[in-house]
Amino acid sequence: MGDLLPQRELRRPHPGIRGLPDQGRAQVRLSGPGHDPGRVPRAVHLGGGHVRAGGFRPHRIRDHEGRAVSRARGLALLLLAGSLWLPAGAAPQGAPSPGQSRLPSAEGAQTSTEIRDRYGRPLRTVLAQEGESRSPVRLEEVSPWMPLATLAAEDRRFFSHAGVDLRAVARALWQNARSGRRVSGGSTLSEQLVRALHPRPRTWGGKLAEAFDALLLETRQDKREILEGYLNEVSYGNRCRGIGAAAREYFGVPASELTLAQSALLAGVPKSPKRYDPRRYPEAAAVRQRRVLERMREWGWLDADSHRLARAEKLKVEPRRAAFAAPQFTEYVLRRAERGAVIDTTLDAGLQERLQGVLAKNLERLAGHQVTNGAAVVLDNATGDILAWVGSADFNDPRHQGQVDGVTAPRQPGSALKPFAYGLALSLGARASDLLRDEPMHFTNGFSPKNYDETFHGPVRLREALACSFNIPAVRVAERFGAARLLGALRAFGLESLRESADHYGIGLVLGNGEVSLLELTNAYAALARGGVWMPVRALPGEAAAARRVLDRESAFIVTDILADNAARAGAFGLNSPLHLPFPFAAKTGTSKDYRDNWALGYTPEWTIGVWVGNFDGQPMRRVSGISGAAPVLRDAALLVYERSASGPFPVPAGIRELEVCPESGDQPGPWCPGAMREVFAKKHPPARVCSLHRPPVEIASVPAPRRPALLSVEFPQPGDVFKIDPATPLGAQALRLRAASEESVAWTVDGVALPPGEAWWALRPGRHRAAASLRRDGRLLQSRPVHFLVVR
């Protein structure tokens, strides 16, 4: 930086200033119209290399007439003036004393912290301790225009004085005397840096102390360090201390990317940060900017073209930022990250903003049901990256505890823990086709589980029991391995908030009587999406992600296949519930006791979403379940994420087989079974036996049975068919036409009730039903096997 900038080099911005060779103290005199010759550095902004301190220090100080004055003489004069005029208590203290460290460096200076999203967009700025935004930069990290514009605005002879510019002081005294008020200061950059580091009263004594300290400063620091210190320490208004913070505050760019026009605007601000505030007084700031550019042109630091282009540039000052985005997430980051100038995170600010809107829209819908808050989080399955984190409906709503973080607050998850219990059961040999008894249960401690619909469904397949979230079958499954083993499995999935003992929770743990956080639970579902592999979530890109297997691939896939089976859950939620999406999507809801908490969690192979809805004060909602409260939020969020990141089908592990089973027993179909349906199995756990539920009549038991009875069969409906009631058509006008494989007239029964003779139409009504056909031939009664089907709204 010791070289001087020749006029021809100034016509080019960065390349003309960066990378010039260091030539010690070589100087070039520049003359401009109407101005005395001046000196300006050739490489104010170094592109690299070591610069000797001596390259910045003039050997001589000049008085206001340009006569050379030795450094020692100048210092002696100032010391004498200081001893005569300084009042008590105004002793010089700004420059570092021999025992003190040097000026604060960019590396060691106190800094504010800017938290950014994964694309570099700002989320929040945490101010330094004195309540200012700081982002210290080294001189080589600043646009080359900024130092030049600063010298033009504040201290043209910076490289020709030893800390005090006697000519500037004399001129300021004369101008102030003529006007009768203070119109000029005459302070050098060195004096202004001293003032920024050690503010004093604006008195003659304070002014002399600053001058004294500026001379001492120049004996200890080279010009480059002083210029860098000035750019990092002066105020640019709006709580910005230093050019690093100012460049981002006003133009949203690092200091290295400031244009000539932007540099000239910012260089004019420190003279009076309030008067030249680019936001509040843009006209005054523009006038000051034009004056800086005019000086650079007049002094030969700019050619006419550069000056004209800079004046013509339309500057867009960034609007004042909101207090911060993703407040709960940034708090989480600050607890984990070491504070510095910039913290880059995994969050997607665009997704975050839209997810906040999704939550707000759905909470408006629920306002009449005593629902005040909610939270949502989105994870990237491949990395564990947190893509969005909405901690509450409104962070600035104290009435509804908006500063509580619903993503990390522990709450009861209700049925949302069931998939992990079923996953454990599958890993121990259970099958999706197994029949589970949904009948009354009573425990000695008084615990009697009930289903959400307060009915019992008899024998149900495991697939249907999980998909429909029946409570009693889930308790029966958990009984097989006990609360202790279930608790261990849940902790392996990262649910560390379950800190009590297994005896404390008991078997009711499968129904969600413990407390977990939304972040933990969402990441546990992400482990299912990964095929049984858990890894920690990441808020910072550099965080290590140590993965571990917590469930075998086959069991994780079967759980996923069930949670993505819209037909399997239709009996409880209907075919068109909020969980049904136009792409492969596994989902589960949960509702805690007394409707205090709603949960909905869902995933694709690529990403996982978790939603909680409720009240932070624990007040119950008005009969809002997971399917009516949190599930619509999940649906809207999933459509939003899918729009940004489409997802494909779930990959099928090599250890999975698809086989036929009897729809009523879940075993291999026998010759007397009414039909067959497809089911997925782990190769190591195929169906173990042939169906024994369906047997031939006793009187012909000794006769070999055919593979399928051909006497009479039902052609329509087929076993397992699901029919949906059309809401736009009156229920009485909707019916099924039953059809049997016979040309003769048959009689029909549905649910044991006979239809009128010759009638084949049956009026639809919601629920599970059983249809059978019969006819008489040659005096014998022929009967079909019953066909089970489902009607939903």
Give dist(CA 248, CA 111) in Å, integer. 14
Phi then psi dihedrals of residue 124, to 5 deg? -165, 145
Beta bridge partners of 747: 774
Give dist(CA 46, CA 144) in Å, integer. 8
Task: Report the relative pairing of strands 747-750 and 656-661 from DSSP bridges.
Answer: unpaired
3-class DSSP state of 160: helix
Cβ neighbours for 606, distance < 8 A, ≥ 6 positions apart: 380, 381, 382, 645, 647
Helices (H) and strands (E) in the chain, counts: 21, 30
Alpha helices in 252-281 (DSSP H): 260-267
Catalytic, out of 190, 415, 555, 665? 415
Phi then psi dihedrals of residue 723, to 5 deg? -120, 140
3-class DSSP state of 133: strand
Q: Is 555 among the catalytic positions?
A: no
3-class DSSP state of 599: strand
Burial class (CB in 10 A: 0-12, 13-18, 19+), 422: buried
- In DSSP notation, 322-350 reads PS-SSHHHHHHHHHHSPP-SEEE-S--HH
| Assigned token pair, 232 | 């990092």
Q: Residue 676 is which amino acid? A: A
Give dist(CA 365, CA 369) in Å, integer. 9
Give dist(CA 15, CA 682) in Å, integer. 66
Give dist(CA 407, CA 392) in Å, integer. 8
Chain centroid, CA 611 distance in Å: 14
Cβ neighbours for 338, distance < 8 A, ≥ 6 positions apart: none
Give dist(CA 520, CA 534) in Å, integer. 11
Burial class (CB in 10 A: 0-12, 13-18, 19+), 39: middle
DSSP assignment, residue 408? T
3-class DSSP state of 436: strand
Give dist(CA 278, CA 237) in Å, integer. 9
Q: Residue 568 is which amino acid? A: A
Catalytic, out of 9, 114, 154, 233? 154
Beta bridge partners of 29: 39
Q: 243-251 and 260-267 helices cross at what angle (nearest 10)? A: 120
Residues comprising the chain, all counted: 793
Q: Is 154 among the catalytic positions?
A: yes
Give dist(CA 565, CA 198) in Å, integer. 70
DSSP assignment, residue 396? T
Nearest to 134 by CA among 107, 155, 152, 158: 107
Would you tell me how many other CB atoms lie within 10 Å of the CB of residue 484?
13
Give dist(CA 352, CA 391) in Å, integer. 11
Cis check: omega of the bond before 719, within 30 degrees of 0: no
| Assigned token pair, 513 | 């009587």
Give dist(CA 412, CA 517) in Å, integer. 8
Give dist(CA 636, CA 563) in Å, integer. 18
Catalytically active residues, by annotation: 154, 415
